[in-house]
Structure 1
Amino acid sequence: MSLQIEIMAAMKTAMKAKDQTALAALRAVKSEILLIQTSGEAGELTEEQEINILSKLVKQRKDSAAIYLEQDRKDLALPEIDQAEVISQFLPEALSEEEIEKVVVMTIDQLGAVGMKDMGKVMGIVNKELAGQADGKTISNIVKAKLS
Structure 2
Amino acid sequence: MSTLAQLKEEQKVAMRAKDKARLGTIRLALAAVKQIEVDTRQELSESDVIAVLTKMVKQRKDSISQYEAAGRQELADVEAAEIEVLKTFLPQALSQQEIDALVDAAISDSGATGMQDMGKVMGILKPQVQGRADMGALSGIIRSRLA
Alignment TM-score > 0.5, same fold: yes
Structure 1 residue 34 and structure 2 residue 37: aligned? no
Do 2:114 and 2:146's aligned partners in 1 also have CA atoms closer than 8 Å?
yes
Q: Within 2, Cα distance between the matches of 1:128 and 1:3?
A: 16
Structure 1 residue 71 and structure 2 residue 66: aligned? no
| Partner of residue 59, structure 1 | 58
Letter in 1 for 2:34: L
Letter in 2 for 1:13: V
SS in 1 for 2:92: coil
Superposition TM-score, scaled by structure 1 size: 0.92
Q: Within 2, Cα distance between the matches of 1:119 and 1:128?
A: 15
Structure 1 residues 110 and 40 mapped into 2: Cα distance closer, same or farther (>3 Å)?
closer
State the 4+ residue runs in structure 1 displaced beyond 6 angstroms.
none
| Partner of residue 49, structure 2 | 50
Letter in 2 for 1:8: K
The alpha-carbon deviation at position 50 of structure 1 amounts to: 1.1
Letter in 2 for 1:15: M
Q: Within 2, Cα distance between the matches of 1:40 and 1:100?
A: 32
Q: Which runs of 5+ in 2 are unaligned?
A: none
Q: Which runs of 5+ in 1 are unaligned?
A: none
Q: Within 1, Cα distance between the matches of 2:9 and 2:105?
A: 39
SS in 2 for 1:128: helix
The alpha-carbon deviation at position 70 of structure 1 amounts to: 2.1
Number of matched pairs? 147
Q: Within 2, Cα distance between the matches of 1:6 and 1:64?
A: 26
Output aligned runs, 1:103-118, within 5 Å.
Answer: 103-118=102-117
Identical aligned residues as a percent: 40
Structure 1 residue 85 and structure 2 residue 88: aligned? no
Superposition TM-score, scaled by structure 2 size: 0.92
Structure 1 vs Structure 2 CA RMSD: 1.4
Letter in 2 for 1:7: L
Q: Within 2, Cα distance between the matches of 1:59 and 1:20?
A: 22
